[in-house]
Copies of this chain bind each other. A is one copy, B any other.
């Protein structure tokens, strides 16, 4: 990738052309009475330059607080030392914890983390991908927007040799490594848990039929309903909290036999709590609730929320370890591989048979 450039000009010149700091290589050279190319090579630690000269240049550079320009070093190494994390939202404990895991590994590798929020909007996601193709980042960690079913924009990364790792919300038809939790199994288990606590008529609150995790959790719910002889009700919710509260209220008003709610994501459980407060529906006496959630304060809610806790920090961490493996080997992922890190159901008062 270097060939054209090195054939034409010696690469150490770059230091000099594109220094944008307040102290330039030109100034260093003039103060030291050396040629610009000597200073540039000395800063690049070139063995063409004597150790004595290199030391002299380094000392003055340090004294004058000379900052080598990012773009110069990026051009030399072809690395931006930055990875991007594309996620739907930040006001969500799963993603906040996953970012903590991502950051831990990025910092160990001396990398910076760019965070992009899609707000579950496919057009926004596609625009962000377009923007990231130009060398701004070396690799991508991605949890796709709920709206995304066309992955052609993501395929552009492969064309630009940028490795992509999916976590949590993945696209089945895009070939790469994917870090997920056991969504189907957890969906089955959550439904079984509600039935074991006496629920006869359980509704599943879905965020989006295009969302991989939602599809799998729903499949687990449907299979459990079938196996345990319970009717199934899929309630399609939206991205808007206000709309969801209306949808949930309408459902509970229309069918008084609903005695269990399985919320596919945390915010739908929160909306259900709000609706129950408003309609004076008692949890768990009249309605039991279980939700996928990483809410730290689930136990402090009234009543404590039964959650399926995802290993968010671990998923973020392991996905990032895989990304750095690809970056070090200068490869991209071309095969589908799924790594499953299981979730844990934590039963609290929202699904209790009797509450104290």
In the complex, what distance in Å separates the CA atom of A130 from the CA atom of B101?
23
State whether the Cβ of A277 lies closer than 8 Å to any Cβ in chain B.
Answer: yes
In the complex, what distance in Å separates the CA atom of A70 from the CA atom of B162?
15
With known contacts A17-B5, A17-B9, A301-B300, A113–B112 Cβ distance under 8 A:
no
In the complex, what distance in Å separates the CA atom of A5 from the CA atom of B19?
9
State whether the Cβ of A184 lies closer than 8 Å to any Cβ in chain B.
Answer: no
In the complex, what distance in Å separates the CA atom of A113 from the CA atom of B96?
16
B70:A160 contact, CB within 8 angstroms: no
Contacts of A113 in B (CB 8 A): 114-116
Interface of A is mostly: mixed
Stretch at the interface among A52-60, A131-139, A169-177, A248-256: A131-139
A100:B93 contact, CB within 8 angstroms: no
With known contacts A20-B78, A71-B74, A93–B93 Cβ distance under 8 A:
no
State whether the Cβ of A21 lies closer than 8 Å to any Cβ in chain B.
Answer: yes
A112:B103 contact, CB within 8 angstroms: no
Contacts of A5 in B (CB 8 A): 17-18
Report the count of interface residues on A (CB-CB < 8 A). 57
Nearest CB on B from A11, distance (A): 10
A69:B20 contact, CB within 8 angstroms: no
With known contacts A67-B133, A90-B90, A300–B17 Cβ distance under 8 A:
no
B300:A134 contact, CB within 8 angstroms: no
State whether the Cβ of A297 lies closer than 8 Å to any Cβ in chain B.
Answer: yes
A21:B300 contact, CB within 8 angstroms: no
State whether the Cβ of A307 lies closer than 8 Å to any Cβ in chain B.
Answer: no
Contacts of A97 in B (CB 8 A): 91
Segment 74-121 of A: residues with Cβ below 8 Å from B: 74-75, 78, 82, 90-91, 93, 96-97, 99-100, 103, 112-117
In the complex, what distance in Å separates the CA atom of A26 from the CA atom of B3?
12
B277:A67 contact, CB within 8 angstroms: no
B70:A136 contact, CB within 8 angstroms: yes
Cβ 8 A contact of A75, one of B71, B91, B297: B71
State whether the Cβ of A335 lies closer than 8 Å to any Cβ in chain B.
Answer: no
Contacts of A100 in B (CB 8 A): 90-91, 117
With known contacts A90-B99, A97-B91, A277–B300 Cβ distance under 8 A:
yes
A residues touching B (Cβ–Cβ < 8 Å)?
Answer: 1, 4-5, 8-9, 17-18, 20-22, 24, 26, 65, 67-71, 74-75, 78, 82, 90-91, 93, 96-97, 99-100, 103, 112-117, 131, 133-136, 159-161, 270, 273-274, 277, 295-297, 299-304
**Can you give 20 A-B contacts (C-beta < 8 A)?**
A1-B20, A5-B17, A8-B17, A65-B159, A67-B133, A67-B160, A69-B134, A70-B134, A70-B135, A82-B114, A91-B97, A112-B136, A114-B114, A115-B115, A270-B297, A273-B300, A277-B299, A297-B297, A302-B303, A302-B304
